[in-house]
Amino acid sequence: MRIAIPHTRQNPDIRFLGRLLGDVIRAYGGDALFRRVEYIRSASVDRHRGIAAPDSIELGLDALTLDDTISFVRGFMLFSMLANLAEDRQGVAAEPGADVAQAIARLEAEGIDRDRVTALLQQALVAPVLTAHPTEVRRKSTIDHRNHIAELMKLRDMGRTETDGGELVEEAIYRQIALLWQTRPLRRERLYVADEVETALAYLRDVFLPVIPALHARWERALGQRPPSFLKPGSWIGGDRDGNPNVTADSLRLALGRAAETVIGHYLDLLHRLGAELSISTELTPVTEEVIALAERSGDNSPSRSDEPFRRAITGVYSRLAATYRVLVGREPPRPPASADAEPYAYPADFRADLVAIAHALARDGDGALAGGGGLGRLIRAVETFGFHLATLDLRQNADVHERVVAELLNSAGVEADYRALDEEGRVALLRRELASSRPLSSPYVTYSDETASELAIVHAAAEAHARYGAEAITTYIISKAESVSDLLEVHILLKEAGLYVPGDTPTSAIMVVPLFETIADLENAPKVMTAWFALPEAATITAARGVQEVMVGYSDSNKDGGYLTSVWSLHQASRALAPVFERAGAAMQLFHGRGGAVGRGGGSSFMAIRAQPPGTVAGRIRITEQGEVIAAKYGTRESAVTNLEAMASATLLASLEPPQLAEAEYERFAGAMAKLSDTAFHAYRDLVYGTEGFRTFFRQFTPIAEIADLKIGSRPASRTKSDRIEDLRAIPWVFSWAQARVMLPGWYGVGQALAAFEDRGLLAEMVEGWPFLQSTLANLEMVLAKSDMEIAGHYVALVEDQAHGQAIFDRIRDGWHVTRDNLLDITGQSRLLEKSPALDESIRLRLPYIEPLNHLQIELLKRHRAGEDDPRIHEGIQLSINAIATALRNSG
């Protein structure tokens, strides 16, 4: 398959991989299939060059049999995957300051010295949190083959012609592409929570475990001193129960147990290598008493190592860690220890202390080069970062569930017969009385509903986890749909049942309860809720003891509720309004940003997004969800993980320490304009989505939402209820569906009307020029507009039963897109989309000719499927087309 895309600087990796893919299709699919695929590819490329008739693509597609269609879609999907790989190897666009060394230099140039950076890092936390949200359409097997190709391409970069096994590098790459061609791309069965746990563990084991210590070592060199381990991963997988009945106490235990097995197994491997490395003899160098003591206690009495105390000490440490593995995992480690009766480590800190004793002994001799770096330094950093838990696992549940469970507990205990009938004031008073009492509400002699029994089992499993793995295993309990103080108190009631909240004069809570504000109204109400929360003496006490309180803000539901512009502005305003609330309470604010991959769910550049946060709202602490296909895109290889984690850390430094770019008076002027823009955009969006008769029917017929729900890409249902209301649909399939039809409506609708109605164009130009918030907002908007295609989208109207009504709604959408594009170009001073972003422009232009035929095929297959044709190849073709389009668009979910 030749790669000949117009108006782009050809990436040689894409040309090379595309050529090999074409060779594979010819060899394994046959020459006839290759020629058909090549004809459609060439016709699509030529159409985008403007030198082929619009119907030339359809003529080629019409000649495909169903079997050919499936092979064709696989071919275009694999090309997009290989193109993504080639681009990832080049790294993300490097904004100035997008690594920590550059950020430090930039801050120094602005008069902010390293002491301030160091002081910030003492209390910093930067946490990417992996979630199992279902937008990753690819099987793990496919991702593995892709990563093997990436490793082989690195050998090719180095000028290697052979692999370590003696295979020619180019032949090895060809073989991996051939394996991809013959690997089933679709899952046959829906994922279980256990599958999602294993997928996340693969990234944590293969990427995060080696990369994060290496990054901290790099930052230590940049700072000139050793920073704390401030970059730490988190996870929701196995603890996120919101709308997912498959997440239970058992899945929580599974996730925690497998994480402990993974991380302690990693430490054991590093220790084994370290023991082989530290061949230091007492005949050549003195050794500290601490190391001698470790060696004597090790049980290693081999005469061959009698003069090698470091090796013997490592043997003892290994035996103790192996005993820890035995206790926490429940079986023997893969490589048995020298001593079978060693005492397990009670805490990761005890393990670290032994390692530090060895490091200090190494530092005493020579220039200290043996102590800080190498395997021992990385292992110490890993233990500080990952403990025995690997990634902090969050709990999450919906406030409505907590309300029902607490009501049942209060009723069964004879405290309150109808808790749900109480007003907010009555609820708060009752819950505070219960939190002041050491008496539990639950009883082993009462039979509870399945829901209540499940929620009680979760908090008891969390208490077990704290005792077993340490408090870092679970630090946070997130409340979806949080609207009031009683929502926070209800969770503390549940924690008290498991001993995780302890009443008294100075109450303590071992787990931080975090409200998630999601809708536009909830975001507006967030400062009021948190003010009332901090006013409670018990809340003030537990916050003061912890020193920090987290608030989570949700991008997805706020967008579905109010549209793109109102969503991002409401999030910005809520964050800004929360800062003084926390300042008055004397608490550090930690914002947790619930972002997805698509712009309609908060996607886009993390570097730009963090830097665009309101002044005073980051302060060195930020958590961000990483979801679905974004995980593979950002952390699929160690190289891409380094780039993205570095950007996240550097953006946090800059957002925390750089002086505000806007004076307060200028900000207020810009904010006033944004409020008007947001209001206009909100009403335009709400009028279309919630105010247009028949819109939800149009949406469900126009997009492949029903077919997406059949994809085996997650353990969670697509909708919160059996209702077909848009309000009850999860934000993920909402955004994903619009992307498939190339409309991308959640990422832009309403913005054009707002910009067009705003008369002060000079003020808009000032805002675009000088306000990072608006720059980030418009950059993401522009990317979405560039990936959408109203001409292709128009073909999806044929799927709508009421053609006249469907066409009328689509005309409104199309007109809104043109208004948005034209006004965006006007205020940014461009003649075409992405004119000022050539790298992104090239990336998108490369893919467009490969997506258009997929859309045409998808429409035809959807027509046949919905007409009742029951050929299983039609269903498979639809699923493959969804997979292929998502792969090509990248951030579509």
Render 632-645 in DSSP notation, one character per residue: HHHHSSHHHHHHHH
Q: Name the residue type at position 577.
A: A
3-class secondary structure for 338-376? CCCCCCCCCCHHHHHHHHHHHHHHHHCCCCCHHHHCHHH
Cα–Cα–Cα angle for 615, 752, 606, nearest 5°? 35
Residues 6+ apart with CB under 8 A from 140: 198, 199, 202
Q: What are phi and psi of 480, to 5 degrees?
A: -70, 150
Contact 393, 236 (CB under 8 A): yes
Tokens found for residue 31: 């020459």
- Show the DSSP H helices in 110-183 as ranges: 114-122, 140-157, 169-181
Handedness of CA 493, 494, 497, 498 (dihedral sign): negative
CA–CA separation, 452 and 463 (whole Å): 17
Tokens found for residue 226: 């050793």
Contact 542, 508 (CB under 8 A): yes
User: Between β-strands 508-509 and 476-480, what pairing exists: parallel, antiparallel or unpaired?
Assistant: unpaired
In the chain, which residues have pLDDT < 70? 1-10, 52-59, 90-97, 133-138, 366-369, 371-373, 596-604, 710-724, 728, 891-893
Bridge partner list, 127: 623
DSSP code string of 220-240: HHHHTS-----B--EE-TTTB
CA–CA separation, 303 and 351 (whole Å): 26
What pLDDT score does 606 carry? 85
Contact 64, 72 (CB under 8 A): yes
CA–CA separation, 549 and 513 (whole Å): 8
Query: CA 815 → CA 432, 692, 807, 810, distances in Å?
Result: 54, 16, 12, 8
Contact 195, 713 (CB under 8 A): no
Residues 6+ apart with CB under 8 A from 664: none
CA–CA separation, 127 and 496 (whole Å): 27
CA–CA separation, 851 and 855 (whole Å): 6
Buried b / exposed e over 621-658, threshold 16 CB at 10 Å, is bbbbbbbbbbbbbbbbbbbbbbbbbbbbbbbbbbbbbb
In which residue are the tokens 């395997």 written? Answer: 375
Bridge partner list, 729: 719
CA–CA separation, 130 and 234 (whole Å): 6
CA–CA separation, 214 and 217 (whole Å): 5
Element (H, E) at 695: helix 695-702
Residues in the chain: 893
In 430-480 the beta strands, taken as DSSP E runs, fall at 476-480
Burial of 275 (0-12, 13-18, 19+ CB in 10 A): buried
Cα–Cα–Cα angle for 698, 704, 710, nearest 5°? 130
Q: What are phi and psi of 604, to 5 degrees?
A: 115, -170
In which residue are the tokens 């480590």 written? Answer: 345
Query: Domain map of the chain by residue range?
Result: 258-386, 664-836
- CA-closest candidate to residue 459, choices 477, 485, 479, 480: 477
CA 539 to chain centre: 30
Residues 6+ apart with CB under 8 A from 423: none
Handedness of CA 574, 575, 577, 582 (dihedral sign): positive
Task: Give the residue numbers marked as catalytic.
Answer: 133, 560
Helix or strand or coil: residue 330? coil
Cβ atoms within 10 Å of 775's Cβ, excluding its own: 17
Contact 751, 674 (CB under 8 A): no
Q: Which DSSP category does 481 fall into?
A: T
CA–CA separation, 382 and 364 (whole Å): 23
CA–CA separation, 178 and 25 (whole Å): 8
CA–CA separation, 411 and 448 (whole Å): 11
Residues 6+ apart with CB under 8 A from 592: 129, 478, 514, 516, 550, 551, 552, 553, 622, 623, 624, 625
Contact 734, 560 (CB under 8 A): yes
Query: CA 305 → CA 237, 280, 296, 315, 320, distances in Å?
Result: 45, 10, 12, 11, 19
Ramachandran category for residue 134: left, alpha or beta (phi over 0 → left; psi -120 to 50 → alpha): beta
Give the fold, CATH level 3, of 258-386: de novo design (two linked rop proteins) (1.20.1440)
Query: CA 388 → CA 120, 228, 257, 259, 471, distances in Å?
Result: 26, 18, 10, 8, 10
CA–CA separation, 777 and 773 (whole Å): 6
Handedness of CA 189, 195, 196, 202 (dihedral sign): negative
Instruction: Return the half-sphere exposure (C-beta side, CA atoms, 13 A cut-off) of residue 208.
Output: 26
User: Between β-strands 392-393 and 234-235, what pairing exists: parallel, antiparallel or unpaired?
Assistant: parallel
Between the two ends of the chain, the Cα-to-Cα distance in Å is 29
